[in-house]
């Protein structure tokens, strides 16, 4: 079974990032959301309407899906590819819709090129333009910046920001944790099942269990004996002291006073916020280890 016991909701004007290792079920989850795979149990609901065979055609009109592979027709030009999709969405003004995405995605120079002639990045761009052709209110994007150069990837992220501001509900599957952290309102960590679902900062707090970072001038190790009097688990690395007590806790001001009295130049005191990558690795490895024990 690719995914099991996965439940989440996405509001309009929200970006949810699905992250997880290869084979975690991200693409399967996206396909289920797009109505391409029927779940063996459970359901997908869009604005209170269950996605079924009977409602699929109508609901798919509102969904823009960027598939894992761009899936362009190689013998057809970019404009022909887009024009056919405009017809499949039965758009009232198909040519205008095609012109709009050609302009938005800066595809004018490639519009007459056939699919087979395009670079990987350009194919991805055309596929993205195709997903937005019918102005969907729900966007499902499977690895949207995969294969794109940094400049285009950045413009895609800006575009997603714009779509979110316009009220679009967006689900992005990505391996790029930095992108997920910067872009998403919430992050779902998937590994066959849902390991975590929260705002990136909240996920980070789960991992740190409330550690505090104290940065001092010079070598932190010189001040470690002072800190150990407050916290036996403290450690020093470079100019940083890591204290296992929470930042908001009552002992931190006393610790800082002690450090200053001992002659330390305290430059910064802040709660430890690990990168999403650290949280992700922790969650996935922890789940794998538990899986090994279960197995």
Q: Is residue 216 within 8 Å of 237, Cβ to Cβ? A: no
Contact positions with another protein (CB under 8 A) in 97-136: 114, 127, 130
Q: Which stretch binds another protein (CB under 8 A): 3-11, 36-44, 232-240, 274-282?
A: 36-44
Member of 8, 13, 21, 76 binding another protein (CB under 8 A): 76
Q: Is the dihedral of CA 47, 53, 58, 60 positive or negative?
A: positive
In this complex, which beta carbon is closest to another protein, that of residue 98 or of residue 279? 98
In this complex, which beta carbon is closest to another protein, that of residue 73 or of residue 217? 73
44 binds another protein, rule: CB under 8 A: no
Longest dimension (CA), the chain: 75
Member of 3, 10, 29, 34 binding another protein (CB under 8 A): 34
Tokens 């996935």 identify what position?
284
68 binds another protein, rule: CB under 8 A: yes
How many angstroms separate the CA atoms of 242 and 139, rounded? 41
> Which tokens go with 239?
């100019």
Q: Is residue 72 within 8 Å of 115, Cβ to Cβ? A: yes
Smallest separation, CB 127 to another protein (Å): 7
Q: Which stretch binds another protein (CB under 8 A): 13-21, 66-74, 99-107, 256-264?
A: 66-74
How many angstroms separate the CA atoms of 100 and 203, rounded? 38
Phi, psi of 257, rounded to the nearest 5 degrees: -60, -45
Phi, psi of 211, rounded to the nearest 5 degrees: -80, 160
3-state class of 107 per DSSP?
coil
Task: Sketch the per residue contact string, 205 through 224, with another protein: x for CB under 8 A, - otherwise.
Answer: --------------------
In this complex, which beta carbon is closest to another protein, that of residue 139 or of residue 243? 139
38 binds another protein, rule: CB under 8 A: yes
Dump the DSSP string for 154-182: HHHHHHHHHHHHTT-EEEEE-S-HHHHHH
Smallest separation, CB 40 to another protein (Å): 10
258 binds another protein, rule: CB under 8 A: no
173 binds another protein, rule: CB under 8 A: no
Opening angle at CA 26, ends 57 and 115, nearest 5: 65
Member of 19, 24, 85, 231 binding another protein (CB under 8 A): 85
Smallest separation, CB 101 to another protein (Å): 14
Q: Which of 267, 207, 255, 209 is nearest to 231 (CA)?
A: 255
57 binds another protein, rule: CB under 8 A: yes
Residues that bind another protein (CB under 8 A): 28, 31, 34-38, 53, 57-58, 60-61, 63, 65, 67-76, 80, 84-85, 87-90, 114, 127, 130
């Amino acid at each position: 079974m690719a995914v099991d016991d996965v439940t989440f909701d996405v509001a309009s004007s929200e970006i949810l990032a699905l992250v997880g290792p290869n084979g975690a079920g991200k693409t399967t989850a996206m396909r289920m959301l797009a109505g391409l795979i029927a779940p063996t149990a459970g359901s997908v609901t869009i604005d209170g309407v269950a996605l079924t065979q009977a409602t699929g055609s109508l609901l798919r009109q509102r969904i823009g899906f960027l598939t894992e592979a761009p899936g362009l027709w190689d013998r057809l030009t970019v404009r022909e590819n887009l024009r056919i999709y405009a017809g499949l969405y039965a758009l009232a003004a198909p040519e205008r819709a095609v012109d709009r995405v050609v302009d938005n995605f800066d595809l004018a120079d490639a519009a007459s090129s056939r699919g087979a002639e395009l670079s990987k990045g350009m194919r991805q761009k055309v596929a993205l333009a195709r997903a937005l052709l019918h102005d969907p209110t729900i966007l499902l994007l499977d690895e949207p910046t995969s294969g794109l150069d940094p400049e285009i990837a950045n413009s895609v992220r800006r575009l997603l920001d714009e779509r979110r501001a316009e009220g679009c509900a967006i689900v992005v599957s990505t391996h790029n944790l930095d992108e997920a952290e910067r872009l998403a309102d919430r992050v779902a960590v998937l590994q066959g099942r849902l390991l975590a679902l929260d705002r990136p900062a909240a996920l980070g707090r789960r991992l740190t269990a409330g550690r505090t970072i104290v940065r001092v001038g010079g070598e932190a190790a010189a001040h470690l004996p002072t800190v150990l009097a407050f916290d036996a688990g403290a450690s020093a690395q470079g100019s940083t002291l890591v204290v296992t007590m929470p930042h908001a806790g009552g002992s931190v001001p006393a610790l800082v006073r002690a450090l200053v009295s001992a002659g330390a130049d305290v430059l910064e005191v802040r709660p430890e916020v690990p990168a999403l990558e650290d949280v992700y690795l922790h969650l996935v490895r922890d789940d794998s280890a538990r899986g090994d024990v279960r197995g």
